[in-house]
């Protein structure tokens, strides 16, 4: 929200100063972790990716995506390879991991929240996971298909600057009307602070999310009409990273 969307910084210090990466123990207190957008997006998928790297009894090279055990059948491998920046072998590996966790071939929101919350036991990740789920749920049908998952992951890991910014804007634009309002940004910021939990140092002040949103709009809302458009968002972010 400070314009550092591409390198991942969603959240600085509660007082507006970026903390050091990781959590460093200082005089018995934990410093606040620096959550990058990339890290946040990837962590809920770690279980799938780790599972996909385990040795397989069967040779996957002679088969496309293994469809016999799932109710939802994803697009063919060639089509997904054309839509993403993953190789054929990477897609096969990702699919194995996805299927291990989600045999139905789809992830509903409650399952997604459960997986995501495991990585933030110190806080409540439920609300942020809800917003993240909606960003991945491309066709808005209440479930994340393998195609949704892999297309979003491709953008986050290997997309261009513009592609990543468009994805980030979609996350912030909760009602998908093409604008980011202060209410939407505040909801996102509060969910991130809730996810971080109380065990942070320095302690997060109650007014910190509001200050973060104000700072965001001071930078982004060029015409001061109270909303941020995709054009304003991309223009400001690109200037920040130059």
Tens digits of residue pLDDT in 43-87: 444 444 434 334 444 444 334 444 434 445 566 888 999 999 999
**Among 238, 214, 236, 235, which Cα is nearest to 226's?**
214
Residue 69: alpha-carbon gap to chain centroid? 28
Distance CA 205, CA 202 (A): 9
pTM over 0.85: no
**Among 96, 54, 52, 55, which Cα is nearest to 74's?**
96
Q: What is the pLDDT of residue 47?
A: 43
Burial of 68 per CB tally in 10 Å (0-12, 13-18, 19+): exposed
In this prediction, residues 212-237 reach a mean pLDDT of 95
Distance CA 220, CA 100 (A): 42
**pLDDT-based confidence at residue 23 (cuts at 50, 70, 90):** very low
**pLDDT-based confidence at residue 225 (cuts at 50, 70, 90):** very high
The answer to whether 52 and 63 are in contact (CB under 8 A) is no
Q: What is the pLDDT of residue 241?
A: 75
Helix, coil or strand: residue 25 = strand
The answer to whether 99 and 105 are in contact (CB under 8 A) is yes
Query: In which residue are the tokens 């949103």 written?
Result: 213
Residue 176 Ramachandran class (φ > 0 left, ψ -120 to 50 alpha, else beta): left
The answer to whether 128 and 192 are in contact (CB under 8 A) is yes
Helix, coil or strand: residue 29 = strand
Tens digits of residue pLDDT in 117-157: 888 888 899 999 999 999 999 888 899 999 999 999 999 99
- Alpha helix stretches (DSSP H) within the chain: 37-43, 46-52, 77-83, 88-101, 109-117, 126-136, 146-158, 161-172, 182-196, 208-220, 230-241
């Amino acid at each position: 929200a400070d314009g550092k969307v591409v390198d991942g910084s969603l959240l600085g210090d509660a007082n507006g100063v970026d903390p050091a990466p990781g959590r460093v123990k200082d005089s018995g207190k934990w410093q606040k972790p620096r959550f990058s957008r990339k890290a946040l997006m990837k962590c809920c998928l770690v279980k799938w990716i780790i599972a996909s790297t385990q040795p397989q009894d069967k040779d996957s090279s002679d088969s496309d995506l293994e469809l016999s055990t799932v109710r939802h059948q994803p697009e063919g491998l060639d089509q997904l390879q054309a839509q993403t920046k993953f190789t054929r072998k990477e897609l096969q590996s990702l699919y194995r991991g996805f299927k291990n966790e989600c045999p139905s071939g789809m992830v509903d929101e409650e399952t997604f929240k459960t997986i995501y919350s495991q990585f933030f036991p110190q806080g409540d990740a439920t609300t942020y996971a809800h917003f993240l789920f909606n960003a991945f749920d491309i066709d808005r049908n209440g479930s994340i298909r393998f195609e949704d998952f892999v297309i979003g992951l491709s953008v986050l890991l290997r997309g261009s600057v513009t592609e990543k910014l468009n994805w980030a804007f979609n996350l912030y634009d909760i009602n998908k009307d093409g604008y980011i309002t202060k209410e939407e940004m505040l909801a996102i910021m509060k969910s991130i602070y809730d996810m971080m939990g109380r065990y942070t140092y320095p302690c997060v002040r109650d007014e910190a999310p509001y200050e973060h949103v104000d700072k965001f709009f001071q930078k982004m809302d060029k015409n001061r009409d109270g909303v941020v458009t995709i054009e304003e968002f991309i223009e400001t972010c690109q200037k920040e990273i130059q």
